[in-house]
Amino acid sequence: MVRRARKSPWAGAFQRTLKAMTRATLRASRRAVVQATARSVRGNARPVPAGRPAARSSAARATKASAGPWATGVAIGPAGARRYRWWRPPGAGRTTPLPLLVMLHGCDQDATAFARLTRLQTLATREGFMLLFPEQERLANAHGCWNWFDTRHGRAQAEAASIVAAVDQACALHGADRTRVAIGGLSAGAGMASLAALQYPGRFQAVVMHSGIAPGAAHSTATALSAMRGRRRPGPWPDAPPLPPLLVIQGLSDPMVAPPNGRAAAQAWAEALGARAAATRTVQRGTRRAMDVTDFKHAGRALVTLCEVRGLGHAWSGGAAGQPYSDPTGPDAGRMLWAFANRCFAQSAAKQ
């Protein structure tokens, strides 16, 4: 169970310091944007990414070499500094707030690899939304995993807070719409995405877990390994506030995250929302893998959707060919993710 600790005077002072540091970072980033834009106008050069120095570092060169308007930044949170990559559709007006999808990579990946795997920038350009890909530091985890499981020592909660800090920065600096933010991830990223939504439910309008484990199933490395084998269950969360809707995508041939974890996550989330399972239906599009879809509904509205993909291993469904952790023959997880998030955005707006 994930419990909220009472704030101590030290924690309050830390939060005030953190906010001041974030404001300073934003001011410096805005100055970088203005300076870069001026250089672009004078020399017809590509703008320097926000939050990076004007000097052409290796990271800046990598960003410049990337296809499309990818840029990099750094956000500061309780877990320290975390780099991120963000994408704004070409031609999108700077004064128009856009929906934001926050995507968390899995182990042995980074933001660049995950973006290449999912190809979400193509969909974002067509549909008109922004992307934020936070990146785990190797000093925090040697395999690049988000520490979704380490709730006992608070590392998981600190990383979730740092991801929210990156979201705040994206909204303040890059023009994302705070009322239309969804978070998702693959494997360890899925576990961290669900934890962030549980810790900060009012910040996200939708959550997507692809091949991950929900909060409460583990609190240490040992229990995480047991949970991955399907031997532990998430939740319950008796004091959880209203959670955002959840989409779960789980491969039924996953050798790393046991398939029962997907249904366990959906059931625990649905229980917290008071939703009940409807009849399972089979969906298959063309020659792609078939999936068994179960909606968990409350008052006629699907609050949790579970998609169990037949034959899918530990891989992003419908991902780019030739990429690690990709199964191009699976249903297009990117399209599923956006359709789910967009529907949740519309339903959230209708309530206001």
Decide if 215 is inside a domain: yes
CATH assignment of the domain containing 118: 3.40.50.1820
Decide if 174 is inside a domain: yes
Decide if 232 is inside a domain: yes
β-pair partners for 281: 293
List pLDDT tens digits, range 91-140: 887 788 999 999 999 999 999 999 999 999 999 999 999 999 999 999 99
List pLDDT tens digits, range 22-40: 454 445 444 443 343 333 3
State pTM to two decimals: 0.81
Number of domains in the chain: 1
Between the alpha carbon of residue 44 and those of residues 34, 61, 63, the distances in Å are 15, 17, 17
Between the alpha carbon of residue 182 and those of residues 142, 154, 202, the distances in Å are 27, 24, 11
β-pair partners for 246: 207, 304
Decide if 14 is inside a domain: no
Decide if 243 is inside a domain: yes
List pLDDT tens digits, range 143-169: 999 999 999 999 999 999 999 999 999
Decide if 8 is inside a domain: no
Decide if 177 is inside a domain: yes
CB 134 within 8 A of CB 87: no
* Residue 64 domain boundaries: 56-351
Q: What's the pLDDT score for residue 93?
A: 77
Decide if 91 is inside a domain: yes
Question: In this model, does residue 55 exceed pLDDT 90?
Answer: no
